[in-house]
Amino acid sequence: MSRLREEYVDTGKVRFIYKQYAILGPESVRGSEAAECAAEQDSFWLFHDALFTDMYSLTDDKLIEFAEQLELDTEAFSSCLASGRYSDLIAQDRASIQELGVRGTPAFLINGIYISGAQPYEVFQEIIEEQLQTIN
């Protein structure tokens, strides 16, 4: 992802949109909400990556521990998490993704072209370059 971000997103060639697809139960929903709370402190991706180090025991205490490790303002983070203000967003993301027929993660759409699962950089590069040619 970092290479794709550097070569396409950061250069303005591609717009990247991330949607939360919390399908592994209440813990993954809570983790998604916590990632949005971390985003309030400009730490979405750092928190996102931390979630995948231990994604099967995402208690509120564990989520707050991740926030502490990332040196976030844990009071603000905890308040955000307790508020549930991102629960509707997470549900909307899940519903919109399911409407597209996506059933697992990771999943990617590039101008409507569906890519399922983790793929090498070259797979994304080929599709992106083909799509860029159609708009230029």
39 and 94 part of one domain:
yes
61 and 112 part of one domain:
no
Q: How confident is the model at residue 21 (pLDDT cuts 50, 70, 90)?
A: confident
Q: How confident is the model at residue 136 (pLDDT cuts 50, 70, 90)?
A: low
The model scores a pTM over 0.85: no
The domain of 117 spans 1-20+102-136
36 and 58 part of one domain:
yes
6 and 32 part of one domain:
no
30 and 50 part of one domain:
yes
E strand or H helix at 38, and its extent? helix 26-39
Residue keyed to tokens 């599709």: 127
pLDDT, tens digit (0-9, with 9 covering 90-100), for 29-66: 999 999 999 999 999 999 999 998 887 788 999 999 99
82 and 31 part of one domain:
yes
What's the sign of the alpha-carbon dihedral 115, 49, 81, 54?
positive
Q: How many domains in the chain?
A: 2
